[in-house]
């Protein structure tokens, strides 16, 4: 059974990061790309949100006794196999795991246009994930 306190704390963190990211949706792309103070802060929140996503997935997998994920991307498939998220969301979250690796390991090569686009178009993936994991608390 999932540790409610652990899951709740991580879901709250994810929701906080999403709340911090949403105002960046109002920033025009050219300004976002040109101003390091904007894109660096946003990219840090994207990184933290990705880490929270991964942390939640691993905690749920371990606490529920699901098969151990072989990779970060596979963690999303484990959740889909167990019916906690649908396959389409799992596929999109796998993309987030690749994006996380860029933010963490390839930080010198970050494409600020891509991070702006992610903020504009993909934050709902994290919200859907949070809602699905939140159902484990209910």
pLDDT for residue 21: 98
CA end-to-end span of the chain: 13
- Tell me how many domains the chain contains: 1
> Taking the model in full, what pTM does it have?
0.94
Domain that holds residue 64: 4-134
Please identify every stretch of the chain with a pLDDT value under 50, giving residue numbers as ranges.
none
CA distance 82 to 86: 9
Instruction: Output the domain CATH number for residue 109.
Output: 1.20.120.580
């Amino acid at each position: 059974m999932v540790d409610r306190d652990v899951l709740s704390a991580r879901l709250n963190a994810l929701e906080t990061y999403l709340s911090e990211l949403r105002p960046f949706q109002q920033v025009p792309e050219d300004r976002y790309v040109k101003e390091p103070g904007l894109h660096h802060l946003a990219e840090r929140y994207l990184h933290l949100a990705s880490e929270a996503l991964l942390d939640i997935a691993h905690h749920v997998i371990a606490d529920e006794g699901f098969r151990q994920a072989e990779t970060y991307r596979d963690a999303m498939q484990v959740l889909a196999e167990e019916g906690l998220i649908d396959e389409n969301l799992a596929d999109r979250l796998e993309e987030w795991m690749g994006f996380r690796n860029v933010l963490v390991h390839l930080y010198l090569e970050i494409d600020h246009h891509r991070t702006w686009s992610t903020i504009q178009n993909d934050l709902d993936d994290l919200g859907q994930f949070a809602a699905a994991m939140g159902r484990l608390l209910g």
